[in-house]
Amino acid sequence: MHYKIMRIINITQVAISKRVNAVHALFVQYDTNGKGELTANTISNMVRGCINVQMSIESLTLFVNALDKDGDGFIEFDELLSFFLKGLAQSTEKRKEFSARSEFHLHLDMFMGWLLEREWKNGN
């Protein structure tokens, strides 16, 4: 029994590590100036580049404000990582409920789904 629990813990740690690596690769790809922070415009470009959706100014503002936990106007890696880890930890049913709330929520769910697809394709 102990072996099975340890195996589950190891599998979970590997899955989380893969997600962290995938988010880090995405962050670095869009952090073109190397400052360790993304602007609202960069987040817009990231979403458009990943899921081919142009977010409205209102949706982009909501998204950036939700991500920007320290309120400095920039998105740091840990803020983006928190978004993906929390969102992807939700059950399929919870994600369906979330995406059904509005077009904005659907786009956020699509963005999380894009990361999962990238993770599977690249083995990140």
Length of the chain: 124
pLDDT of residue 17: 83
Domain holding 97, by residue range, is: 2-122
CATH number for 44: 1.10.238.10
Domain count, the chain: 1
Task: For residue 11, name the pLDDT band (cuts at 50, 70, 90).
Answer: low
Separation of alpha carbons 47 and 60, rounded Å:
10
Task: Tell how far CA 92 is from the center of its chain.
Answer: 16
- Where is mean pLDDT largest: 49-58, 71-80, 86-95, 96-105? 71-80
Alpha helix locations (H) across 1-124?
2-30, 40-51, 57-67, 77-88, 92-99, 103-122
Q: Phi/psi of residue 106, each to 5°?
A: -60, -45
